[in-house]
């Protein structure tokens, strides 16, 4: 039997002090930071917030006071960032016990408990804002991604992110996209080839030359992608051996024409002007990928809160 707040098939488990660094994840969803990277990132955030010298909490709460608290989703969405939040609480009190009800990647409804905390009241109070900051940001990305993924359900299109990420947070934000059911585009400039309009301008528009030079330098097996903003560019890119063509800011009619022209000779990515209202129509043109910069640069924070026992 599940509780009214517990999704069918969910698994509750306890994260005991320091014994487990992160919640179990669904297959294929692996937290991107090592234990040491997680520790350092969270430590920096706690120090930035003055959590180890929380004068208000030290002045008002006795050091031996223990409490129970529940981290709650106040709106529906997708959870992400639990390992960072748990690390924040543990750095303030290694004895805090956490029971996880909603792991990263889990969908939650309004007023759904995410996890339960038991430990020193001072530590939970002082770590609260840092824990919520991590989780609200990453859960917001995961939740927005899930909205886009749901919008194209039943089509062949996959939702991808971009490199429009917060400096220093790329691995975390791309992880949040995966938690929401999306896929990652290239991680950085060194991971794959994407020849854009300015690259082509530097070789006088010679697509064949750009692709040849890219293949000479790129790692074996690396895909070569070419950005196109006109239909005639698409034919030249495919004829030159591009693995992927990026259709930039094209109309729906242009997208359909390009899908017909390419005829599965290359993967087709649509980008630019992608909104939640328009993404379904873009998917129905037959493209393979739809990249959405808004997933990481414009996702609103998911409303999460920490409720203390007796408050």
Residue among 227, 243, 269, 288 flagged as catalytic: 227
Nearest one of 264, 227, 266, 265 to 249, comparing CA atoms? 227
Residue among 99, 171, 196, 215 flagged as catalytic: 196
> Is 196 a known active-site residue?
yes
> Is 39 a known active-site residue?
no
Q: In b/e form, how buried is each residue of 230-259, taking b as 16+ CB within 10 angstroms?
A: eeebbbbbbebebbbbbbbebeeebbebbb
> Is 227 a known active-site residue?
yes
Secondary structure in 3-state letters for the chain: CCCCCCCCCCCCEEECCCCCCCCCCCCCCCCCCCHHHHHHHHHHHHHHCCHHHCHHHHHHCCCCCEEEEEEEECCCEECCCHHHHHHHHHHHCCCCEEEECCCCCCEECCCEEEEEEEEEHHHHHHHHHHHHHHHHHHHHHHHHHHHHHHHCCCCCCEEECCCCCCCCCHHHHHHHHHHCCCECCCCCCCCCEEECHHHHHCCCCCHHHHHHHHHHHCCCCCCEEEEECCHHHHHHHHHCCCCEEEEECCCHHHHHHHHHHHCCCCEEEEECCCCCCCHHHHHCCCCCEEECCHHHHCCCCCCEEEEECCC
> Is 248 a known active-site residue?
yes
Residue among 99, 129, 186, 256 flagged as catalytic: 129
> Is 164 a known active-site residue?
yes
Residue among 164, 213, 215, 256 flagged as catalytic: 164
Nearest one of 259, 231, 264, 6 to 111, comparing CA atoms? 6
Residue among 197, 229, 235, 248 flagged as catalytic: 248
Nearest one of 115, 184, 108, 114 to 145, comparing CA atoms? 184
Return the active site residues.
129, 164, 196, 227, 248
């Amino acid at each position: 039997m599940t509780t009214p707040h517990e999704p069918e098939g969910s698994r509750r488990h306890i994260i005991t002090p320091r014994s487990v660094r992160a919640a179990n994840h669904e297959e294929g969803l692996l937290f991107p930071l090592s234990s040491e990277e997680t520790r350092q990132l969270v430590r920096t955030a706690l120090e930035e917030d003055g959590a180890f010298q929380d004068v208000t909490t030290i002045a008002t709460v006795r050091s031996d006071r223990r409490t129970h608290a529940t981290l709650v989703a106040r709106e529906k969405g997708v959870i992400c960032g639990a390992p960072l939040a748990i690390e924040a609480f543990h750095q303030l009190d290694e004895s805090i016990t956490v029971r996880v009800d909603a792991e990263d990647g889990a969908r939650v409804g309004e007023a759904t408990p995410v996890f339960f905390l038991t430990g020193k009241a001072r530590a939970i109070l002082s770590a609260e804002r840092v824990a919520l900051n991590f989780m609200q940001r990453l859960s917001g990305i995961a939740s927005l991604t899930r909205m886009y993924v749901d919008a194209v359900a039943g089509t062949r299109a996959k939702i991808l992110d971009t490199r429009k990420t917060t400096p220093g947070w790329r691995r975390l934000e791309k992880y949040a996209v995966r938690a929401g059911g999306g896929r990652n585009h290239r991680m950085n400039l060194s991971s794959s080839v994407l020849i854009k309009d300015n690259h082509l301008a530097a070789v006088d528009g010679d697509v064949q030359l750009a692709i040849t030079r890219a293949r000479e330098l790129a790692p074996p097996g690396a895909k070569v992608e070419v950005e196109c903003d006109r239909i005639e560019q698409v034919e030249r890119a495919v004829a030159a051996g591009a693995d992927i063509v990026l259709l930039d800011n094209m109309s729906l009619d242009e997208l359909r024409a390009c899908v017909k022209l390419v005829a599965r000779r290359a993967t087709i990515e649509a980008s630019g002007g992608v909104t939640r209202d328009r993404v379904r129509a873009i998917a129905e043109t037959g493209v393979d990928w739809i990249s959405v910069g808004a997933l990481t640069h414009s996702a609103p924070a998911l409303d999460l809160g920490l409720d203390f026992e007796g408050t």
